[in-house]
């Protein structure tokens, strides 16, 4: 179908949906044609098509189209579409209708094995599109978000139905609208009636085009007819703007009704005149009529104070409103005369104060509210007496505890205190934290003595304490520090000179301190060179001496060599772990074959010790004790190896493990 026919169809659609208001259901719809001899001034550029002014059409059309799906419909497997794209196999047929049965997301489809969101969109909720398959065998669909499902039906013919307009069909020619020439764009197709004029489809013109007919606009955009001209719907800076008729503030029939929404900004209401504010109450029910306050003049405001008389409250100026009230008597208001010694009023007034974090300085002659703290306590400044705000008491006067008032004692912190002279008063001195400084008179009274020279013991003594420090302090010469203790409160003592029994002294009747050692059931951690180490004993207190270890570290092993010349591990002396070595103190090997030739036995100690295994024809062997134990490399098993393949060789060894 060519572009010309599409314009014709568009004109028909516009005519159907925008028929003029004078037309009724029975009005005929006529086809209007371009009148080459007409003009806009005479409003006859378009006249009804007739024999003298025919619709110019140049076309050759030949088509025979059957309905879809034809005689042999087929159904394909639905495609579960995702954002990654999914390919499905087309069902048989020259035309395949793909429909989106999802409810939310649009599918984008294309014949072949791939698709993007730039391909044919198919709307959800039954939207569909007919594909002419040609030689294609696959259809691929993709979504821009989430998923959907596309169904496929194959067949032949022209598909029709809801969920998407009819597709193009048929062929065999073209339709050309109107002739070509200098005014080719003026050949439009119009639908209208003979009374109200045409409906035009064309390029948009300027606003306010003169048109006395009540038909639709002669332009393709949406316009409104104001009785004289056609005007666009338009707004300021792109905003929508619909205006009513009439003058603002004056009643008119063409006004627009404005209705608010919840939580909107209140609409400003202007007072109609200087003295009155008119309001209309809308609703049903019983309303209570209140007293009306009417501003009589521009300068006076009168208010009805009661039902029997009207008292005028006069506004002195335009900016001040003054009201005068007569309390009849000051006593009625809880007031009294400003003179002294007068009768108390009948009622009293509540006195209030004011709290200010930083009160201002009052100048002479001015007044100020009573000042309070933030707890409501009245702030009072005693000008004289009572020691600047305290309770005075005579020297050597009687004092009763919990009855006689007293003044709290303060103190003075000063880095250099000036000594007072005899007969003068002084201020108690304290340190920077408020603790009083006390002079005991003599250090002996406090159970102290001179810290520099020996002297007489004090009458009283002080209990000595200590301090625990995780890191020991390092005082300088001449400095003092508390006794040091551990976290359990035990005093730490550094024995400067050891006291013991001299060498060779008889021990009968002498009490001394035992020498304690550390017992181990396993090899202890090695000490570093020049460090002190505990003497090692076993679990029953026996001293362990080198080269032998504690018995928990003793090792024993046995191995049988049968016709083998390979190094074989002695079972019981496997590798003992990182940095741990095996020390062999005793080794015994025996042979039982009938040979008479000696065999060489090789060990894997650090010296690769070689021993001779003799035989006199009836067996032979050796047993060896190593005064200096053989040492095997760290984390290495102890092995023995026969230099000759013998029937049987039996070996066993003893030793220990250590570093």
Task: Provide the b/e sequence for 312-338 (b: ≥16 CB within 10 Å).
Answer: eeebeeeeeeeeeeeeeeebeeeeeee
Structural domain of 652 = 551-658
Residue 610: partners with Cβ closer than 8 Å, 6 or more residues away? 600, 601, 602, 603
Contacts of 111 (CB under 8 A, 6+ apart): 90, 131, 133, 134, 136, 138, 139, 140
pLDDT digit string (tens) for 413-451? 988 888 888 888 888 888 898 888 877 666 666 666 665
Q: Do both 51 and 188 map to the same domain?
A: yes
* CATH number of domain containing 631: 2.60.120.340
Residue at 607 is within a domain = yes
101 within a domain of the structure (yes/no): yes
Does 653 share its domain with 628?
yes
Same domain, 9 and 95: no
Question: Are 557 and 612 members of one domain?
Answer: yes
Percent over 70 (pLDDT), the chain: 57
Q: Which is more confidently placed, 441 or 501?
A: 441
Question: Does one domain contain both 183 and 140?
Answer: no
Q: Output the pTM of the full model.
A: 0.27
Q: What is the C-alpha to C-alpha distance for residues 378 and 389, in angstroms, rounded to an integer?
A: 15
Domain count for the chain = 3
Interval 146-155: pLDDT, tens: 999 999 999 9
> For residue 459, what pLDDT band results from cuts at 50, 70 and 90?
low
pLDDT in tens, 209-262: 554 444 443 433 455 555 556 555 554 444 445 555 666 666 666 566 666 666
Work out the average pLDDT over 13-27: 42
Burial 495-511 (b: 16+ CB within 10 A, else e): eeeeeeeeeeeeeeeee
Give the integer Cα–Cα distance in Å for 507 and 513. 12
Using the 3D structure, point to which of 194, 217, 233 is the last residue of a domain.
233
Q: Are 151 and 99 in contact (CB under 8 A)?
A: yes
Of 89, 88, 93, 97, give the one whose Cα is nearest residue 120: 97
Q: Residue 142 is part of a domain; what is its CATH number?
A: 2.60.120
Looking at residue 166, what is its pLDDT? 38
**Is residue 422, in this structure, part of any structural domain at all?**
no
Confidence of residue 188 (pLDDT cuts 50, 70, 90): very low
């Amino acid at each position: 179908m060519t572009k010309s026919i599409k314009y014709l169809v568009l004109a028909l659609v516009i005519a159907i949906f925008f028929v003029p208001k004078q037309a009724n259901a029975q009005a005929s719809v006529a086809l209007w044609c371009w009148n080459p001899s007409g003009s806009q001034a005479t409003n006859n550029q378009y006249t009804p098509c007739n024999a003298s002014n025919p619709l110019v059409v140049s076309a050759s059309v030949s088509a025979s189209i059957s309905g879809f799906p034809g005689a042999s419909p087929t159904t394909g497997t639905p495609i579960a579409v995702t954002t990654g794209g999914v390919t499905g196999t087309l069902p048989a047929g020259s035309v395949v209708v793909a429909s989106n049965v999802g409810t939310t997301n649009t599918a984008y489809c294309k014949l072949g094995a791939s698709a993007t969101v730039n391909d044919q969109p198919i709307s959800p909720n039954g939207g569909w599109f007919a594909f002419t398959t040609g030689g294609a065998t696959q259809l691929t669909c993709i979504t821009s978000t989430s998923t959907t499902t596309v169904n496929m039906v194959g067949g032949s013919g022209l598909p029709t139905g809801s969920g998407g307009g009819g597709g193009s069909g048929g062929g065999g020619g073209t339709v050309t609208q109107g002739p070509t020439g200098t005014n080719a764009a003026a050949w439009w197709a119009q639908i209208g009636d003979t009374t109200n004029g045409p409906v035009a489809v064309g390029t948009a013109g300027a606003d306010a085009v003169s048109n006395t007919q009540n038909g639709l606009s002669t332009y393709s955009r949406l316009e409104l007819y104001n009785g004289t001209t056609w005007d666009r719907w338009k707004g300021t800076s792109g905003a929508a703007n619909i205006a009513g008729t009439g003058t603002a503030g004056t009643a008119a029939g063409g006004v627009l009704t404005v209705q608010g929404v919840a939580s909107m900004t209140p609409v400003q209401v202007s007072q109609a005149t200087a003295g009155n504010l008119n309001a209309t109450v809308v609703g049903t029910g019983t309303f209570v009529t209140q007293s009306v306050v009417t501003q009589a003049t521009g300068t006076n405001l009168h208010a009805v104070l009661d039902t029997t008389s009207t008292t005028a409250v006069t506004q002195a100026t335009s900016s001040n409103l003054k009201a005068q009230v007569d309390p009849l008597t000051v006593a009625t208001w809880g007031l009294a005369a400003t003179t002294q010694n007068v009768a108390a009023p009948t009622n009293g007034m509540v006195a209030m104060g004011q709290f200010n974090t930083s009160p201002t300085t009052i100048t002479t002659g001015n007044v100020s509210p009573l000042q309070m703290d933030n707890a409501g306590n009245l702030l009072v400044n005693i000008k004289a007496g009572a020691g600047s705000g305290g309770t005075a008491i005579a020297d050597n006067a009687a004092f009763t505890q919990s009855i006689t008032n007293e003044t709290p004692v303060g103190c003075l912190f000063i880095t250099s205190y000036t000594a007072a002279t005899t007969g003068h008063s002084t201020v108690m001195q304290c340190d920077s934290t408020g603790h009083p400084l006390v002079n005991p008179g003599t250090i002996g009274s406090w159970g102290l003595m001179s810290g520099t020279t020996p002297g007489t013991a004090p009458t009283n003594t002080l209990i000595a304490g200590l301090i625990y420090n995780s890191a020991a302090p390092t005082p300088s010469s001449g400095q003092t520090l508390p006794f040091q203790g551990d976290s359990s409160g035990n005093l730490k003592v550094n024995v400067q000179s050891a006291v013991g029994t001299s060498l060779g002294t008889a021990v009968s009747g002498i009490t001394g301190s035992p020498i304690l050692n550390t017992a181990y059931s396993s090899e202890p951690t090695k000490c570093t060179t020049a460090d002190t180490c505990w003497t090692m004993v076993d679990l029953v207190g026996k001293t362990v001496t080198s080269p032998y270890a504690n018995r928990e570290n003793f090792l024993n092993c046995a191995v049988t060599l049968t016709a083998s010349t390979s190094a074989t591990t002695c079972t019981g002396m496997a590798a003992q772990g990182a940095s741990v070595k095996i020390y062999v103190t005793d080794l015994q090997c025996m042979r039982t074959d009938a040979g008479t030739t000696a065999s060489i036995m090789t060990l894997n100690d650090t010296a690769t010790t070689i021993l001779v295994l003799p035989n006199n024809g009836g067996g032979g062997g050796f047993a060896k004790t190593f005064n200096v134990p053989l040492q095997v490399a760290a984390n290495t098993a102890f092995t023995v190896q026969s230099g000759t393949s013998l029937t049987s060789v039996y070996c066993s060894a003893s030793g220990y493990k250590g570093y």
